[in-house]
Structure 1
Amino acid sequence: MRVLGDRLSLYLPVILMGVLALGTYWLVRSTPLLISHGLEAQVRHEPDYFMRKFSVKSFDDAGRLKSEVLGTDARHFPDSETLEIDLVSIRSFSEEGGLTTATAKRAVANADASEVQLFGEAHVVRQPMADKAGQVQPRMEFRGEFLHAFMDTERVKSHKPVELTRGNDKFTADAMDFDNLKRVMELKGRVKGTLVPAAAR
């Protein structure tokens, strides 16, 4: 029995090492699952702060007001760096000082409000302004259930029906892409328009 006990005491460290190795193997197999769950939690689309009855202003390098965003409620999402706003109202000024306003039931805006998606009774108005050649551009108004406005580049797009008013001229279409800087308007689908002669304006 003593010989058997001596032999077991010789193999005891090997047995213990085997048990520790199995434990380590199990731990390594389990850890990546825990890490992956942690990463999934980090990239969830959940707001990290809220605002109520707020106004956010941004300014250019010269200290001039560039844009102002107002709303009743807002939620900031860190994963996409966007702000979701209820009952939104936006004022944006171009480099030449032209004013564009936008309102809607709901909006999703990027960090500096240079790109805004408007949902529900969307309404964008660009006030009359003189271009670089000194010609006065008439007031423009866009209406629809969805409008995608790019404030800095003065572009408005929509894949849903829209109504466009330019001065006294009116158009409706199933979709639209308007680029004010290039002075190009693309209307798609069923397009209807009313053009008022210059003499009648």
Structure 2
Amino acid sequence: MKRISSFFPVLIVALLAMASFWLEYVVRNENHGGLGNNRHDPDAIIHDFSVARFDAEGRKRSDLSADKLTHFPDTDTAELVSPRISFLQEHRTTTFTSDHGLADNHQRVVTLIGNVQGSTPAGADTPAQTLATDELEVLVDEEIGRTRHPISFSHGASELTGIGANWNNVSGQLDVLSHVRTKIFRAPKHDMQN
């Protein structure tokens, strides 16, 4: 009996050491296996999402909406289903839509992916404009869009295609980077009869 009782403290220490190693093993495997703090799980899912941005005078400058937004807190990014971005200028409104999108809140960038369509309705002095591409990165605060993908652009009846483009909503300027082809149609002049 005396011999068994002398091994009892050694047995307790051995059990505690084994429990410590087991606990360390579990914690390490949770972090490496995606079960700890490195998880990429959503913290919010919002249906029929919409957010607007206003200038210092309280005028609405842009609107971002989506059928569904899934936010991930570890990267502060969001996946968007059927996103729509509208930029509101005094003389024109430009709207972009796509099948999907990714929003990065740190960089204030929304990447529109799949069937990207842009449109600006006709104004008093300008015809309607459209833009189509596969992917468009939009810098929301600067109102700038850019892509390296093929694009097609129309300005009234005139058409332009190319690969890669930079678009500035504030200036209304579109720079096409390469492989540019255009078809320009001019409105016929009316003959004036005396």
TM-score norm. by structure 2 comes to 0.69
| Aligned CA-pair RMSD | 3.8
Match of 1:91 in 2: 86
Match of 1:25 in 2: 17
Which of 142, 166, 174 aligns to 1:178? It is: 166
Which of 51, 59, 68 aligns to 2:54? It is: 59
Give the gaps of 5 or more residues in structure 2: 190-194
Match of 1:159 in 2: 148
Match of 2:70 in 1: 75
Which amino acid in the other structure matches residue 76 of structure 1?
H
Matched, 1:187 2:177: yes
* Structure 1 contact 106–119 (Cα < 8 Å) conserved: yes
Matched, 1:100 2:91: no
Match of 2:27 in 1: 35
Which amino acid in the other structure matches residue 54 of structure 1?
F
Partners in 2 of 1:126 and 1:151 — Cα distance?
17
Matched, 1:124 2:124: no
Partners in 2 of 1:178 and 1:138 — Cα distance?
20
Partners in 2 of 1:156 and 1:150 — Cα distance?
6
Match of 1:132 in 2: none
Offset, 1:143: 0.8
Offset, 1:68: 1.8
Paired residue secondary structure (1:43): coil
Offset, 1:103: 0.9
Give the gaps of 5 or more residues in structure 1: 130-135
Partners in 2 of 1:112 and 1:91 — Cα distance?
20
Q: Give the number of equivalent residue pairs.
A: 183
Partners in 1 of 2:91 and 2:20 — Cα distance?
61
Which amino acid in the other structure matches residue 151 of structure 1?
V
| Structure richer in helix, relative to its length | 1
Paired residue secondary structure (2:142): coil
Bigger CA radius of gyration: 1
